[in-house]
Amino acid sequence: MRPNPPRMITVAVAVALTVIGLALLYLPAGEASDLVRQVGLPGNIESTLLSLIADRLTAYLALALSPLLLVAGSLLKGL
């Protein structure tokens, strides 16, 4: 099996997942919550984002999915 280079969108999503995961781990939850509230999103989306910020599992999942996405993108053609 010969790996292919992943598509650019796959790399961009993997980098975004890494940045989100690191931000959720190292940015204090209060600052992140204030940032989400200042954006002015609709109530349903805002409450969902605030619950994700409070959950550390989200950060770890984002960090774990980033390299897995790159591996899948290099092994599966078209991803």
Domain assignment present for 37: yes
- Residue 55, domain extent: 8-74
pLDDT by 10-residue block (mean), the chain, 79 residues: 83 92 83 82 84 84 93 85
For 12-72, what is the HEC assignment?
Answer: HHHHHHHHHHHHHHHCCHHHHHHHHHHHCCCHHHHHHHHHHHHCHHHHHHHHHHHHHHHHH
Q: Is residue 3 part of a domain?
A: no
Instruction: Look at residue 68 in the predicted model and tell me its pLDDT.
Output: 94
Question: What pLDDT is attached to residue 1?
Answer: 66
pLDDT at 66: 94
> What distance in Å separates the CA atoms of residue 26 and residue 14, rounded to the nearest whole number?
18
Which pLDDT value is given to residue 54?
A: 81
The total number of structural domains in the chain stands at 1
pLDDT for res 34? 83
Residue 15 lies in a domain: yes
Please name the residues in contact with 62: beta carbons below 8 A apart, sequence gap of 6 or more.
17, 18, 20, 21, 24
In-domain check, residue 53:
yes
User: Tokens 């550390």 sit at which residue?
Assistant: 56
